[in-house]
Amino acid sequence: MRGFLNDDRSLHVAWIRMFDRVFATLKAGEEKRRRGRVFGFGPEVFVFWRAETVTFNDALLSLVVEALLLVSLIFEAQLWAVNGNSRCENLKPLEVRPHSVTITEFGAVGDGVTLNTKAFQNAIFYLQSFADKGGAQLFVPKGQWLTGSFELISHLTLLLDKEAVILGSEDSSDWPIDDPLPSYGRGRELPGRRHRSLIYGNNLTDVVITDSSDNVCIEDCYISTGDDLIVIKSGWDEYGIAFGRPSSNITIRRISGQTGSSSGLAIGSEMSGGVSEVYAEDLHFFNSANVAIRFTGQYGEHPDESYDPKALPVIDKITIRNIKGENISFAGVIEGIEGDNFTNICLSNVLLNVKQTPPWNCSYVQGYSDLVSPEICEVLSENIYPGHLSDCYFPFSRLQSSIGQETNALLPR
């Protein structure tokens, strides 16, 4: 929510458009001419409206109700921001973990050369004893910490100093080999088993990685990689469907980074379990990211012959706002699946410096946008504010739902 009022002009634009419409309605009516003025002071907008002998018709009443509900939304949004009701704020990792250790207590050396796999493994094994006592925190101080794969546990905060870097070992023997993920059924590039991820976990709850699959928060990270910076997946064909776990309720905030050949933010391409309610804000991509934003269900390969081509995922309510990018090849590739449109894709306050044309490639998607440069594709060009705010996902979406119900109840019929 940081920046919803102060860093984004979209609500201000909504105000201006709203009162332009109000005054146009007044002017077109038979009532006497009224005077209206809108003043802006810094991040807030104050409205002074003086009317003489106003006769409200249905159209004007609709606009006034809409304006009042927008006022309500702003005040509710301010309360939401102050009270910290986002998933990231609610975690409060520095307060809720009663037990804490530093990786150096287990012999780790942050010189970029010493292998620290055993130190990470031993530290996490020790902290597992506190899982039922409020959880624990593992602090990684300033340094370059070379390690192979290590496994997380539930009720753990992995807290990195702002100058701490975890480096993955280039020795394949430091990466254990596991069975394929249940939601994939086999290795994606090759059949059979697979190497573990650098930071690995299975069936975890209450895990925070901060500098921080459902109910996930990723925030305050710098990432440099040869693959996607942030990617959301949910399984491959019939295995993802059988696993039955959509990726949802995901908040991504304040991420910066670079990738030589992939995407800044990606959804898919393996997404058979579905993806919904994703909120990403304050992202900064630079230095030759191939595509800043990529959603695609068109992977083109299948794990075996048992997949069902008619089984289509639900991809809905993805909000992306406050995005900057320099030296980017393409702004975005947003591709749904024929017969299965991705819906309620919302982008606002996006500024990308791209090298290729056309900057956007969109197909089989539906959504809205405000303040996007370069100009977004036509299927996503309809404005978010004020008419489609409730169609977009924000972490305070219950508020949106209640506002939408109030609007329907109050507007004249």
Q: Which range of residues forms the domain containing residue 54? A: 10-83
**Range 289-299 average pLDDT:** 83
Instruction: In whole angstroms, give the CA distance from residue 369 to residue 320.
Output: 9
DSSP conformation letters of 291-340: EEEEEE------SSTT--TT----EEEEEEEEEEEEEESEEEEEE-BTTB
Please report whether residue 402 resides in a domain: no
Same domain, 38 and 54: yes
CA–CA gap between residue 405 and residue 408 (Å, rounded):
5
Rounded distance, CA 249 to CA 393, Å?
A: 10
Say whether both 101 and 71 belong to one domain: no
User: Does 106 share its domain with 21?
Assistant: no
Asked whether residue 123 falls in the same domain as residue 244, the answer is no
Cis peptide before 374 (omega within 30 of 0): yes
Which of 179, 212, 245 is the endpoint of a domain? 212
Residue 108 lies inside a defined structural domain of this protein: yes
* 131 domain-assigned: yes
Residues 53 and 121 in one domain: no
In a domain, 410, yes or no: no
Residues catalogued as catalytic: 227
The residues, ordered by sequence, that sit 6+ positions from 412 with a Cβ below 8 Å of its Cβ are: 58, 61, 62
Look at the chain and report how many structural domains it folds into.
Answer: 3
In a domain, 404, yes or no: no
In a domain, 187, yes or no: yes
What value, to the nearest 5°, has the Cα angle with vertex 398 and ends 397 and 399? 85
Helix 58-83 / helix 10-28 crossing angle, nearest 10 deg: 160
E strand or H helix that includes residue 188: none
**Looking at the domain assignment, is residue 400 inside a domain?**
no
Res 32: pLDDT: 38
Query: Is the bond preceding residue 386 a cis peptide, omega within 30 degrees?
Result: yes
Each residue's pLDDT tens digit, 352-394: 999 888 999 999 999 999 999 999 999 999 999 888 999 999 8
Q: Are 272 and 229 in a shared domain? A: yes
Q: What is the pLDDT of residues 224-270, one digit of tens each?
A: 877 788 888 888 888 888 888 888 888 999 999 888 778 889 998 88
**CATH code at 100?**
2.160.20.10
Q: Which residue shows structure tokens 């602090």? A: 139
Tens of pLDDT along 307-358? Answer: 888 888 899 999 999 999 998 899 999 999 888 889 999 999 999 999 888 9
Last residue of a domain, one of 212, 228, 252: 212
* Residues 130 and 259 both lie in one domain: no
Tell me, yes or no, whether 48 and 143 share the same domain.
no
User: Which of 212, 242, 273 is the endpoint of a domain?
Assistant: 212
